[in-house]
Structure 1
Amino acid sequence: MRVTLLGTGDTTGTPTVGCECDTCREARARGVERTRFSVHVENDRTGESLLIDFSPDFRQQFLTHEVPLPDAGLITHVHFDHIDGLGNAYRVFDDLPVHAADETDPKTGQSVAETVASKFDYLDRISVRAQTPFETFRTCGLDVTLVPVEHPPLLCYGLTIEDSETGAKLSLSGDTSYGIPEDSRSVLSDPDLLLAEAIVPASLCQHHPLGGKHFDDEGVPRTFGTKHMTREGALALADDLNAEQTRLVHTAHYYPVEEAFEEPLAVDGEVYKL
């Protein structure tokens, strides 16, 4: 299993358009980017590949990184930075199955699968495949399981991708607070690689109108506001899940410049062989 991090940033990415903060300037000086979130997973046994979330930066990502176009896709939730890149399927794919959860979201009245189908009803070359959380399905020769996480007010999902032939396991937290349900944590546990959302360091919770939550024994918030993990929360989750290796993704340009490029914060283009 070959995992390529196409997009490791949050909803505005780093550098952020029009921003001259120290972190954005340093990113430009280093020539690194954190575009909107997307992960490419290639089954090197079959040559097939799966794309997790369709970033608005889809075109740039596939022109920049040496990965094949996906044979299938998966959408974790319906925020624009995870779904709007699907419009790039126009004139690019002949047939693209796109997997998404089938649970009805009380906030929208639709499941993620239904939202994808209605939003992109003009794309006759994609077919939406509704999947039930906790029920493993196979795509691209890999076993995928969606699990609910905590990203109010919308339903959102983390997931695992496993290769039954090699035993390799990738877990993605999805966009979430630290308050991931125990049954979801059980599925996510013991990955070879964990991609954990870590939007900002815990020190910035003081600037959020709602502060932080899910405090550790030393009073450090593991959740920023209500729906994203802090760096400290993501690292605590990695310990909880017994992850062999962890990369922090979906990070914002609000990280102080002296912390923004430290390990284990990921940048676009990283490749992992599991």
Structure 2
Amino acid sequence: MRVTLLGTGDTTGTPTVGCDCDTCTAARERGVERTRFSVHVENERTGESLLIDFSPDFRYQFLRDGVPLPDAAVITHIHFDHLDGLGNVFRVLDSLEVYAADETDPETGKSVAETIRDDYHYLDTVTVVPTTPLETVRICGLDVTLVPVEHPPLVCYGLAIEDPETGAKLSITGDTSYSIPEESRTVLADADLLLADGIVPASLCEYHPLGGRHEDGEGTPRTFGTKHMTREGALAMAEQLNADRTRLVHLAHFYPAEEAFEEPLAIDGEEYVL
């Protein structure tokens, strides 16, 4: 299983358009970037590729990193930075199965699968496959399980991807606070590689209108506001999940420049063979 981190940034990415903060300036000087979130998973046994989330930067990411076009995709939730790149498949792919959760979101009255089907009804090449969370499905020769996480006000999902022949396992927390349900943590546990949402360091919670939540024993917030884990929360989650290796993703340009490119914060283009 070959995993390529196509997009490791948050909604605005790093560098952020029109921003000359120290972190965005350092990113430009280093020639690194964090585009909007997307992960490419290649099953080298079958020659198939699975895409996790359709970044608005889809075209650029695939041209930049030269990975194969996807044979199937999974959408974790309907925020634009994870979904709105789907339109890029127009005239690029002949067909594509898109897997998404079938649970109705009380906020929208639709499931993620229904929203995708309605919003992208004009894409004849796309077939939406409603998928039940916590039930494993075989996609591109890999066992994929969607798991509910906490990213209010909309439903959102993480996922585990496992090679049934080699046992290699990739887990992705999805966009989430530290309050991941126990049944979801069980599915995500013991991954060879964990991609964990760690949007900012905990020290920045004082600048969020809602502050921080889910403090540890020393009072360090593990959730920034209500929607995302802090760096410290993501690392605590990785320890709780017993991940062999962890990379932090969905990173904002609000990280101080002196911390923004330190381990284990990911940048675009990283590749892992599991």
TM range (shorter): over 0.9
SS at match of 2:232: helix
Offset at residue 37 of structure 1 (A): 0.1
Q: Which residue of 1 aligns with 2:12?
A: 12
Q: Which residue of 2 aligns with 1:84?
A: 84
Q: Which amino acid aligns with 2:11?
A: T
SS at match of 1:204: helix
Distance 2:173 2:139 in 1: 20
Deviations 1:171-197 (CA, angstroms, capped at 9, x unpaired): 000000000000100000000000000
Q: Which residue of 2 aligns with 1:106?
A: 106
Is 1:267 the counterpart of 2:272? The answer is no
Structure 2 alignment gaps of length 5 or more: none
Distance 1:269 1:107 in 2: 35
Deviations 1:21-63 (CA, angstroms, capped at 9, x unpaired): 0000000000000000000000000010000000000000000
Q: Which residue of 2 aligns with 1:198?
A: 198
SS at match of 2:214: strand
Alignment of 1:54-203 (within 5 A): 54-203=54-203
Q: Which amino acid aligns with 1:38?
A: S
SS at match of 2:222: strand
Deviations 1:120-151 (CA, angstroms, capped at 9, x unpaired): 00000000000000000001000000000000
Distance 2:164 2:87 in 1: 32
Length-normalised TM-score, structure 1: 1.00
Offset at residue 8 of structure 1 (A): 0.2
Alignment of 1:229-244 (within 5 A): 229-244=229-244
Offset at residue 66 of structure 1 (A): 2.0
Structure 1 alignment gaps of length 5 or more: none
Q: Which amino acid aligns with 1:160?
A: A
Q: Which amino acid aligns with 1:273?
A: V
Is 1:249 the counterpart of 2:266? The answer is no
CA RMSD of aligned residues (A): 0.3
Distance 2:63 2:95 in 1: 20
Q: Which amino acid aligns with 2:158?
A: G
Q: Which residue of 1 aligns with 2:27?
A: 27
Q: Which residue of 2 aligns with 1:44?
A: 44
Distance 2:30 2:119 in 1: 37
SS at match of 1:215: coil
Distance 1:73 1:184 in 2: 20
Between the aligned residues of both structures, percent identity stands at 76
Deviations 1:211-232 (CA, angstroms, capped at 9, x unpaired): 0000000000000001100000
SS at match of 1:221: coil
Distance 1:51 1:152 in 2: 24
Q: Which residue of 1 aligns with 2:213?
A: 213
